[in-house]
Structure 1
Amino acid sequence: MKAVLLDLDETLFDHRHSCEAGLSAVRERYPDLQQKSVEQLEGQFYLLLNEMHHAVLQGRMTLEEARLERFRLLFHSCGRDLRPQESQEIADLYSQVYAVSRRSVPGAVELLTSLRTRGVQIVVLTNHMTHVQVDKLEACGLTALVDHLVTSEDVGVQKPDPAIFRHALQLCGARPHEALMVGDSWSADILGAQAAGIPAVWLNRRRTPIPDAQTAQEIFELHELAPSLNLYLNL
């Protein structure tokens, strides 16, 4: 195996941890949200984030517009309509706490370090704006452990389009069977890898039912990947 392709958010970067920290801070300051638990808010915010994320990547919204709209809709679901200035203040509070709470997913540093010692190229393959993902890698101390960062912004297409996977393979000089994709999104990471002919491992940290056990191996934590790596590396 020449290369391992890894998603960033919720695979190497613990987005959920930072998100819950940010939402907890907002919920504590604004009682309107206290009718819902942090877990309920995070679940709703996760759906809004995915919806807005696609709009941003497609150029239908700016990153800032999406940031404010998420909170407007979140508060509206709790019976409060925010004024524009309130949306800005809430979004700023969330972003500040999110930033200081950034961390890698447990096992990420150990996994990347192990791959590098074995001479395997590491590619982070992500649907996001490049500067945002560069900042996350730096904040988590992962930059020096990554050989290539491939973003949908730079390539011009998003996962699950096979073209972005082929671009990553070209950077590594690897053929599909010489690589492995690891990610948390079934639709973007697993089905995208399948379309590109790349074996895939689904990191299911939310422990949702696997759509098709024949399509990819399932793990719940990154440290569970070690036996599979030994198999792929023929060790």
Structure 2
Amino acid sequence: MNEKYQTLIFDLDDTLLNFKSAEKQALQALFSDLKVKADSAALQAFSVYNQSLWKKLEKKEITRSQLFEQRFQIFFKNYYQLEVSGLKCSQQYLSYLANGHEEIKGATQMLTQLKTENKQLFLATNGVAFVQEQRLKDSNLVSFFDQIFVSEKVGCEKPDPRFFAYLFEHSNALPQKTAMVGDSLSSDILGGSKAGIDTFWFNPTQTDNFTQVQPTYQISALDEILKYA
């Protein structure tokens, strides 16, 4: 492995841990609490709606409190004609979500190899701190990371340049020797590009990129990082 990068910054959801699996389990538990049917169409509808809200948050079109207070209230009203407490549902959902820590294939092996090469590894994730920290701890991946940056604690979400400015201000990483690894073009890759660092787009489904956001590298398996890093 060459010495191009001293530091690699990893996204968590759908890069190292399977968020879709965690989300499904959490929603099934929440729907059961509310005694509504959690069929695949409903779960998919919520997932799409939830992703749209996080995209709005990334673009600063809504606030974090609006996202957490309104997403379940609006979804259950529109989908089931059911009145619920948005905040209470959100708290229940997050407590269930924290239990989901299924690993993306190859994550441990790839991180282990990078550590043997003395790479500095950071985690940079949008989300709720206690949820992400619990999932990371339960997955046994936490020990790989020299530093962990969660948007809730940083005070802004990727791709906000302030997120990456905070990361570099609070670490010894050098931008020219650092790369961002993640599955989201709008969050990880755009954020890394705005910060002036190289990016790895983890795209296991080989989805076409119709955006203006261009990663430095595109990989379909995590171990491909080892060829470039």
Give TM-score, length-normalised by structure 2: 0.78
2:82 aligns with 81
Does residue 7 in structure 1 map to residue 31 in structure 2? no
Q: Could you say which residue in structure 2 is the equivalent of 1:16?
A: 20
Native 8 Å contact 1:12 1:108 kept in 2: yes
* 2:104 alignment counterpart: 105
Q: Given that residues 149 and 167 in structure 2 are in contact (C-alpha distance below 8 angstroms), is that contact kept between their aligned partners in structure 1?
A: yes
Q: Residues of 1 paired with 2:92 and 2:154: CA distance?
A: 32
| C-alpha distance in 1 between matches for 2:57 and 2:192 | 24
Q: Matches of 1:100 and 1:128 in 2, distance apart?
A: 14
Q: Secondary structure at the match of 2:83?
A: coil
Cα distance in 1 for partners of 2:228, 2:192 equals 17
Question: What is the CA distance between 1:120 and its match in structure 2?
Answer: 0.3
Superposition map of 1:70-149 within 5 A? 70-84=71-85, 88=88, 91=90, 94-95=93-94, 97-149=96-148
In structure 1, distance between residues paired with 2:167 and 2:91: 34
Q: 1:215 to 1:24 in 2, by over 3 A?
A: same
List aligned pairs for 1:148-159, cutoff 5 A: 148-159=147-158
Letter in 2 for 1:149: I
Structure 2 unaligned regions, length at least 5: none
Identity, in percent, stands at 26
Take 1:213 and 1:157, find their aligned partners in 2: how far apart are those partners?
20
2:103 corresponds to which letter in structure 1? S
Equivalent in the alignment of 2:51: 46
How far apart are the structure 2 equivalents of 1:176 and 1:122? Answer: 13
Question: Partners in 2 of 1:35 and 1:121 — Cα distance?
Answer: 40
Stretches of structure 1 that go unaligned for 5 or more consecutive residues are: 230-235
Q: Tell me the SS of whatever aligns to 2:157.
A: coil
Distance in 2, matches of 1:130 and 1:37, equals 27
Matches of 1:49 and 1:158, distance apart in 2: 10
TM-score (norm 1): 0.76
Q: Deviations over 1:156-207 (max 9, x none)?
A: 3432233432443455533222111101221221122112221101123465
RMSD over aligned CA atoms reads 3.3
Cα distance change, pair 213–91 in 1 and its aligned pair in 2 (3 A)? closer
* Structure 2 equivalent of residue 200 of structure 1: 199
Distance in 2 between residues matched to 1:18 and 1:129, nearest whole Å: 14
Q: Secondary structure at the match of 1:77?
A: helix
Question: How many residues are matched?
Answer: 223
Contact preservation (8 Å) 1:2, 1:172: no
Local SS of the residue matching 2:132 = helix
Mean alpha-carbon deviation: is it higher for 126-135 or for 194-203? 126-135
| Partner secondary structure for residue 47 of structure 1 | helix
* CA distances 1:208-228 after superposition (whole Å, capped 9, x unpaired): 421258543222332333323
* C-alpha contact (below 8 Å) 2:122/2:147 kept by paired residues: yes
Instruction: Specify whether residues 198 and 46 from structure 1 end up closer, same or farther in structure 2 by C-alpha distance, changes over 3 A only.
Output: same
Aligned residue number for residue 222 of structure 2? 222
